[in-house]
Amino acid sequence: MLKKALLAAAVLAAFAAPSLAVPITPTNLDTLALGVLVAGPSFDDFISPKGEDIGDLENTVYFNSSTGLYTYVHKVTPAVNNISEFNTGYYVRGFVAAGSVAGYSFSDAKAAGDPTPANAFEIERESDGTIDWSTNFFQSGSRGWDSGEPIRHFFQSLFAPNAEGDYNIIDSKVGTATSYAPAPEPSALLLMGTGLLGLRLLRRRK
């Protein structure tokens, strides 16, 4: 019973959102060992509340059996200028796994006009568990990330693409698209429930 309780606690830790925003050092997607493609590509449009199409989203998911991590790759192509941010509109589960990282393609950022691509985006995991990529580079009077400039962003998770989630880009408005999101399999939920029950029983015995 104690072993099940400890396992459940580990699963619960993977579910827990951070209490404060946590900065993430960008990893270059170009150098990452992705593994095998397990989902995608999927395609959707970033649609504003007024129904405007302000960009395209292409998502793929890879699994690396050596690390046990899934890599979610988001190819974002704006249809408007001055994009200030790309983010997940949902709590990213499983990102707290040891060794999981987030970042973007440095070569894509360079092609979009950033002379220092390793600093093109500031990445944070927010207190609500979302991940934000904020644009750092500027050019020609714009934020630097403009229409027709595709940049691939990514994060890693313990969990497979068992759900859907919203993704957003922001200029003077917000556009939302939907694609793959990580979620635990039913067996993990069962394990967590069993473990929590075990913890309650242990407390009662004490």
pLDDT in tens, 101-111: 999 999 999 99
- pTM of full prediction above 0.85: no
Q: Are 102 and 147 in contact (CB under 8 A)?
A: no
Give pLDDT tens digits for 148-181: 999 999 999 999 999 999 999 999 899 999 999 9
The more confident residue out of 29 and 200 is: 29
Q: What is the pLDDT of residue 205?
A: 39
pLDDT band at 21 (very low <50, low <70, confident <90, very high): confident
pLDDT for residue 175: 98
Does pLDDT of 98 surpass 90?
Answer: no
**42 has which bridge partners?**
59
* Amino acid 88: pLDDT: 98
Looking only at the bridges linking them, the beta strands covering 85-88 and 22-24 are unpaired
- Segment 193-198 shows an average pLDDT of 40
* d(C-alpha 93, C-alpha 184), whole Å: 8
> Does residue 201 or residue 21 have the better pLDDT?
21
Helix (H, G, I), strand (E, B) or coil at 184: coil
Q: What are the residue ranges spanned by the domains of the chain?
A: 20-183
What gap in Å lies between CA 114 and CA 3, rounded to an integer? 50
What CATH architecture applies to the domain 20-183? Sandwich (2.60)
